[in-house]
Amino acid sequence: MELKLAEMHRQVGDLTLDERGIAVRGVLIRHLVLPNGLAGTEKVAQFLKSISPNMAVNVMDQYYPSYQAWKYPELSRRINHREYSQALSAMQDLRLFVE
């Protein structure tokens, strides 16, 4: 997966927007924050920074445990404010797009 992301970025570069703010070309990463650090956000941030310090990242906080998530205690709850803030801090040197 890492090689594929690096190759995608090599081919199209950083995200570029037109005058209306609409994406025209480039890579936009969407990262879903999971409870208990399960998404590996800090490692993801380090990897993305190694590809480009101007990588566009949408840090998503909408994880919702459903179906049989209750079987896995580490995934059985939504993320809290602290976890989301930590994820934003980890990605702070990148180009953040926050919903």
Q: What is the pLDDT of residue 98?
A: 63
The average pLDDT across 54-82 equals 95
pTM for the predicted model, two decimal places = 0.89
Does pLDDT of 13 surpass 60? yes
Beta strands in the chain (DSSP E): 16-17, 23-25, 28-32, 56-60, 95-97
Does pLDDT of 99 surpass 60? no
Q: What is the pLDDT of residues 21-67, one digit of tens each?
A: 999 999 999 999 999 999 999 999 999 999 999 999 999 999 999 99
Confidence of residue 81 (pLDDT cuts 50, 70, 90): very high
